[in-house]
Amino acid sequence: MLEQLRSIVQKVNAAKDLQSALDIIVHRVRDALDTQVCSVYLLDSDLNSHVLMASEGLNREAVGHVSLDLGEGLIGLVAKHAEPINLQDASLHPSYHYLKETGEENFHAFLGVPIIHHRSTLGVLVVQHEERRRFDESEEAFLITLSAQLAGVIAHAEATGAIEGISPSGHKTSDTVFHGVSGSSGVAIGHTVVVFPAADLSQIPNRPAKNIDKEIDFFNNALNSVRKDMRELHGKLAGHVAEEERQLFDIYLRMLDDDALGNEVVQRIKAGSWAQGALAFVASEHVRNFEMMNDEYLSERAADIKDLCSRVLFYLQEKEPVVTEYNNDTILVSEELTPAMLVEVPKEKLKGLVSVKGSGNSHVAILARTMGIPTVMGAVVFPYNQLGNKEIIVDGYKGEVISNPSDQVRKRYLNTIKEQDLLIAGLEDLKDLPCETADNHRVHLWVNTGLMSDVLHSLDQGAEGIGLFRTEVPFLLRERFPSEHEQLEIYREQLQAFAPKVVTMRTLDVGGDKSLSYFPIEEANPFLGWRGIRVTLDHPEIFMAQIRAMLRASIGLENLQIMLPMISNINEVNSAMQLIKKAHHELIQEKLEVKFPPIGVMIELPAAVYQTRALAKLVDFISVGSNDLTQYLLAVDRNNPRVANLYSAFHPAVLSALYQVVSQAQEEGKQVSICGEMAGDPGAAVLLMAMGFDILSMNAATLLKVKSVIRSVSLEAAQDLLDQVMQMDDAQMIRSAVDLTLYNAGVDRLLRSSRTN
């Protein structure tokens, strides 16, 4: 059975289009189950009906012509309940709906199973037989297993038709939505330009080298050509993005200079392989290693290596360069977009980006956010290789791509773009105004930073302090731990740029999804493992170097605060405090005039919520890391797209934990802030302000939006809203209540939760 299943799925996978895939299914399943009829009905949402799309055993003329309304007949029943129906005699069932064109009156036994993809029912797979008998359990299990495996293939084939504007049954269709995740917010309408990697590394056969020295020269020349190209691209970035982001691009360049990669290829050529084969082998090894890394940021680097090596391969294959013509309204699309592909497009022509693979952590998404280009990542079913020059809409708010837009939808999005431009222009005026409510309650808006460019951008947005400097970011961008002196320089730059405003530096938070390539942590449950303060307390030498660097960097500026991540008990705080005191004492002994900075803890674990009071007694301030707190309270991996719908900071349990933290910190007379993503959600920010948070710390890009919303509500209205939502027991209801309050306060729809509609 397993063999048959595998072989059917393989054949269907290789089919050229939806109809051929369905024809293979009905033919092969009828044979495998040794039955008389196998048919597939697919939902055509434009027609609101299930259409008989393929059949082996029913009248051929009926295929493509016969359909059942939603809920009609046994097909409708299977689809509605999303459950199999197995009947000895279908005609006796009350829902049986006879379709005379099919000739099905001869068949009594009926087994129908739903075809479900990502919770939505695409159609029904049916087998029928003349005899009056129930299909047995193993036949039912076979059909269910097969249907589950085929659903993805059918969804993909349907998507391919949809991009051409054709529904499963061949009708014209419009406004097909392809889901991904948001890479960079905003909306763009434009025409697709699809780019492919320069050359395909997976298609290189193994061959011996005819002349080893010549192959080595050939490879070195190719490497030099790519180096030259990359330097040119690097130059093109100047002026488009901040210097730090250009440095991200430098890493890319350095991979070529890196002795490791080039050297490995040369060693393989010396061992007898031709240059192309040696390159393909080394590339695939590196790509595999990177892809296996737990850290999302690092696993995304596999795409960079692939791109780089295929550029070298391109020169080895002595291909003619492909000159891409970019439209004036280019939406750049690729299976796996890379920063190099992005910067090849003239800036004024680039309107949006769509990548089939990748996440919000991909380099290309980081660059897109800096450049303000609406981007959708991970649009897995988007049939990119079928696209020519096609008009599409990129909705970077929702992470959706819309093909064949109807006039109505296009008009709606054009309005959104206009509103977006007006909104952004209007927000500029708020930069120098205080963040206070309509009834004069003052809230402080700080920012989260990682790179130096974040700092510059933040100051530009009127940030009043840094609530979270993720010190691990500069660690992630290196090939070894930065020395105390190197850290000092990085920290000094941040402190100086913001002085006299406060900069809160978090001690190294690695582990979980952030592991350093030069300090790998292999664990079965990394989020419950060696992470944050647990790592640094076990490695006091790393912790001490970091604290010394922070303290030294603050000399004469005195705007430093230090914050400890992933605290689960008071012993961790006591131990960390001892080390900080030791570092301070050492520096005093070294005759440096270092002030002892305020120390705070992050509340990120449920255990810490219940210990807020005890923790607050030990430190100067409390800061809630709501990203992790939500993940740990709800037991939902913050990076797993399968459970992303369960991850909500509006969950009543999360709100009640936050409220408890604020109240207890206030009772201890300690300042309390929040630095998770929810602080940058304007609706959530209103609730957080009402709870009593003194400081909301967020991504600089959201700061003016939050300020604008807070300035349009009164503290009284926010507190009434908070009282209401604290009585609610469902995240969705809470979202709606917040949305309604913002609506009543006249807040622009692009700043509310529903955003583009």
Sheet with strand 375-377: strands edge to edge: 176-179, 400-403, 391-395, 187-194, 330-334, 350-355, 375-377, 181-184
Site stretch for ligand PEP (CB under 6 A), options 173-181, 362-370, 437-445, 622-630:
622-630
Closer CB to Mg ion, 513 or 604, in the complex? 604
The one among 12, 146, 303, 468 contacting ligand PEP by CB under 6 A: 468
675 part of the active site = yes
Q: From CA 525, how far away is CA 130, in angstroms rounded? A: 53
Q: At what angle do helices 540-553 and 484-498 cross, to 10 degrees?
A: 40
Q: Between the CA of residue 149 and those of 7, 9, 145, 497, what are the distances in Å?
A: 12, 7, 6, 55
Kindly provide the b/e burial profile for residues 661-687, where b requires at least 16 CB atoms within 10 angstroms of the residue's own CB: bbebbbebebbbbbbbbbbbbbbbbbb
According to CB under 6 A, which one of 155, 654, 675, 703 is a site residue for ligand PEP?
A: 675
Q: Please report how close the Cβ of residue 561 comes to ligand PEP at its closest, in angstroms.
A: 15
Query: Which residues on neighbouring strands pair with residue 117, listed in sequence order?
Result: 120
Shortest distance, position 536 Cβ to Mg ion, whole Å: 14
**Nearer of residues 470 and 492 to Mg ion, judged by Cβ:** 470
Q: Which is nearer to ligand PEP, 625 or 682 (CB)?
A: 625
Q: Which of residues 378, 676, 680, 682 is near ligand PEP by CB under 6 A?
A: 676
363, 444, 457, 651: the catalytic one is: 363
468's contact among Mg ion, ligand PEP, none, with CB below 5 to 8 A by partner kind, is ligand PEP
**Nearest distance in Å: CB 632, Mg ion:** 10
Cβ neighbour number for residue 307 with a 10 Å cutoff: 20
Least distance to ligand PEP from the beta carbon of 628, Å?
3
> CB burial class (10 A; 0-12, 13-18, 19+) of residue 15?
middle
Kindly indicate which of the ranges 220-228, 479-487, 519-527, 620-628 contains the residues binding ligand PEP, using the contact rule CB under 6 A. 620-628
Q: In whole angstroms, how close is the CB of 628 to Mg ion at the nearest point? A: 4
Q: Which stretch binds ligand PEP (CB under 6 A): 4-12, 14-22, 307-315, 621-629?
A: 621-629
**CA nearest 464: which of 450, 443, 491?**
443
Stretch binding ligand PEP (CB under 6 A), from 312-320, 539-547, 613-621, 625-633: 625-633
> Quick check: 150 and 117 in contact, CB under 8 A?
no
Closer CB to ligand PEP, residue 409 or residue 477?
477
Q: How far is the CB of 576 from Mg ion (least distance, A)?
A: 16
Residue in 311, 470, 548, 735 binding ligand PEP, rule: CB under 6 A:
470
Tell the smallest beta-carbon distance from residue 621 to ligand PEP (Å): 14
Q: Which stretch binds ligand PEP (CB under 6 A): 579-587, 626-634, 657-665, 725-733?
A: 626-634
Annotated active-site residue 435? The verdict is no
Q: Which residue is nearest to ligand PEP (CB)?
A: 625
Give the number of other Cβ atoms within 10 Å of residue 94's Cβ: 6
Options 504, 554, 626, 639; binder of ligand PEP; rule CB under 6 A: 626
581-620 binders of Mg ion (CB under 5 A):
604
Cβ neighbors of 84 (< 8 A, separation 6 or more) are 78, 111, 112, 113, 114, 140, 143, 144
Nearer to Mg ion by C-beta: 152 or 526?
Answer: 526
Residue 676 CB, shortest distance to Mg ion, in Å, is 7
Q: Which residues contact 480 (CB under 8 A, 6 or more apart)?
A: 518
CA distances (Å), origin 477, targets 243, 298, 483: 14, 10, 14
- The residue (of 566 and 599) whose beta carbon lies closer to Mg ion is 566
Contacted by 75, from Mg ion, ligand PEP, none: CB < 5 to 8 Å by type: none
How far is it, in rounded angstroms, from Cα 564 to Cα 582?
Answer: 16
Least distance from ligand PEP to the Cβ atom of residue 511, Å: 10
Task: Select the residue interacting with ligand PEP from 604, 681, 694, 748 (CB under 6 A).
Answer: 604
Residues 6+ positions from 244 with CB-CB distance below 8 Å: 451, 452, 453, 454
List residues bridging with 445 in a β-sheet: 696
What is the number of other CB atoms lying within 10 angstroms of the CB of residue 399?
20
Mask for 269-308, x = binds ligand PEP (CB under 6 A): ----------------------------------------
19 three-class SS: helix
User: Using N-to-C axis directions, what is the helix angle for 275-291 and 212-237, rounded to 10°?
Assistant: 50
Q: Which of 38, 309, 435, 675 is catalytic?
A: 675
For Mg ion, the closer of residues 597 and 625 by Cβ is 625
CB of 362 to ligand PEP, least distance (A): 17
Instruction: Identify the helix (H) or strand (E) that includes residue 616.
Output: helix 612-618
Neighbour count for residue 606 (Cβ, 10 Å): 15
Contacting ligand PEP (CB under 6 A), which of 215, 336, 628, 694?
A: 628
Choose between 488 and 603: whose C-beta lies nearer to Mg ion: 603
Site string for Mg ion, 624-653 (x = CB under 5 A): -x--x-------------------------
3-class DSSP state for residue 330? strand
Residue with tokens 């300042």: 671
**Residue 428 CB: number of other CB atoms within 10 A?**
10
Considering only residues 561 through 590, tell me which ones interact with ligand PEP, judged by CB under 6 A.
none
Q: Which is nearer to ligand PEP, 305 or 679 (CB)?
A: 679
In our burial notation (b when 16+ CB lie closer than 10 A, e otherwise), range 513-548 reads: bbbbeeeebeeeebbeebbbbbbbbeebebbbbbbb
**104 is a contact residue toward ligand PEP (CB under 6 A):** no
Tokens of 476: 């992630």
Element (H, E) at 502: none
- Which spans of this chain sit near Mg ion (rule: CB under 5 A)? 604, 625, 628
Contacting residues toward ligand PEP, per CB under 6 A: 468, 470, 509, 604, 625-628, 675-676
Give the residue numbers annotated as catalytic, written as ranges: 363, 675
